[in-house]
Amino acid sequence: MHDITDPEHKIDWESLSPDERKHALFAKQKALLDTFLRTGAIDRRQYTKSLTCMAEKMGIKLDGSPQK
């Protein structure tokens, strides 16, 4: 299995189930937020707010499991 958080990894979206697509998209978006935080483009407060909002809207717990 490939690391979907690797920005260079190309995802074969067609082969994924809807739930797998959602998790892959979340991982890629989180990696982008991580980059913004690491480079100083956003501060910790904005990172936390953005990550929390994204997870809530996508129905994903921050530990990676689906919300119930």
Residue 54 in any domain: the answer is yes
Cα–Cα distance between 61 and 65 in angstroms, integer? 5
Domain ranges, residue 37: 18-58
Residue 10 in any domain: the answer is no
Cα–Cα distance between 34 and 28 in angstroms, integer? 10
Q: What are the average pLDDT values for consecutive 10-residue runs of the chain, which has 68 residues?
A: 55 87 93 97 97 95 63
Per the structure, the count of domains in the chain is 1
**pTM reported for the whole predicted model:** 0.73
pLDDT at 3: 53
Residue 51 in any domain: the answer is yes
Residue 28 in any domain: the answer is yes
Residue 31 in any domain: the answer is yes
Residue 34 in any domain: the answer is yes
pLDDT at 59: 93
Residue 36 in any domain: the answer is yes
Task: Answer yes or no: are the C-beta atoms of 63 and 55 closer than 8 Å.
Answer: no
Residue 46 in any domain: the answer is yes
pLDDT at 9: 63
